[in-house]
């Protein structure tokens, strides 16, 4: 566990975030009342960015790392620049670190103080990532939290928990599933879910290509 949060920065980041949320909600209410937007459509757009558009960037990074050992080595050594090379840039000053799952170690990402998240590669954070329950329990009892996400790890597998900060954010590189040797880079990327890159899922081959 390394947590080098700067408290001052974090309070700014938190209050800015909740202020922004309040303004967004007020605007949404106003536009809905005037009949200008359909809240269900807004929910669908947000869902698209949470689960489809944003995480596709991270999935492209994972797929490249799976097929290109030189890229994987660069990603392990200097994730910030290896990720920018694929066209996905974090906001100024944020560093990225890629953490690789192995047969021995499973990695899980959390932000215990607020909701630091690698926007450039994963898009919008899911609601549960920001919840106090996940933020506290991921650190205290990661194995049970993973079980609730449907990830039952063998007892001998170690779980390493990484605490994100405003300055340093993590991308989990899941293990490449067996049986994917013949798949293209695009097909591999399609297997990688957002949750697998946070560490709350593992990548599996769907039944139809198994």
- Active site annotation includes 193: no
Q: How far is the CB of 158 from Fe ion (least distance, A)?
A: 24
> Is residue 56 exposed (0-12), middle (13-18) or buried (19+ Cβ within 10 Å)?
middle
Residues ≥6 apart with Cβ < 8 Å to 195: 126, 149, 201
Binders of Fe ion among 72-111, rule CB under 5 A? Answer: 111
Backbone angles phi, psi at 84, to 5 degrees: -60, -35
- Where do the DSSP E strands lie in 89-173? 95-100, 105-110, 158-163, 168-173
Cβ closest to Fe ion, residue 82 vs residue 116: 116
Residue 130 Cβ vs Fe ion, minimum distance, rounded to whole Å: 9
The active-site residue, picked from 85, 111, 136, 193, is 111
If binding is defined by CB under 5 A, does position 116 make contact with Fe ion?
Answer: yes
Active site residue 115: yes
Is residue 116 annotated as part of the catalytic site, yes or no? yes
- Tell me the residue number closest to Fe ion, measured at CB: 116
Query: Does the annotation count 18 as an active-site position?
Result: no
- Report the nearest approach of Fe ion to the CB of residue 115 (Å): 6
CB-wise, 63 or 110, nearer to Fe ion? 110
Collapsing DSSP to helix, strand or coil, 139 comes out as helix
Q: Does 198 bind Fe ion (CB under 5 A)?
A: no
Nearest to 121 by CA among 177, 65, 161: 65
Q: Does 114 bind Fe ion (CB under 5 A)?
A: yes
Catalytic positions, written as ranges: 111, 114-116
Site of interaction with Fe ion (CB under 5 A) = 111, 113-114, 116
């Amino acid at each position: 566990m390394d947590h080098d949060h700067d408290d001052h920065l974090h309070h700014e980041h938190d209050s800015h975030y909740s202020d922004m949320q309040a303004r967004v909600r007020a605007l949404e209410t106003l536009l809905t009342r005037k009949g200008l937007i359909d809240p269900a459509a807004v929910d669908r757009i947000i869902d698209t960015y949470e689960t489809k558009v944003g995480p596709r960037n991270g999935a492209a990074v994972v797929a490249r790392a799976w097929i290109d050992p030189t890229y994987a080595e660069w990603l392990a050594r200097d994730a910030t620049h290896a990720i920018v090379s694929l066209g996905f840039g974090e906001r100024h000053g944020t560093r990225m670190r890629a953490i690789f799952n192995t047969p021995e170690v499973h990695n899980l990402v959390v932000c215990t103080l607020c909701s630091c998240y690698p926007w450039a590669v994963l898009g919008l954070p899911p609601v549960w990532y920001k919840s106090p329950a996940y933020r506290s329990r991921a650190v205290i009892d990661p194995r049970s939290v993973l079980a609730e996400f449907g990830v039952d790890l063998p007892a001998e597998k170690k779980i390493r928990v990484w605490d994100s900060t405003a300055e340093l954010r993590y991308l989990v590189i899941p293990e490449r599933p067996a049986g994917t040797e013949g798949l293209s880079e695009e097909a591999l990327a399609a297997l990688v879910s957002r949750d697998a890159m946070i560490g709350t899922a593992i990548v599996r081959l769907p039944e139809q290509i198994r």
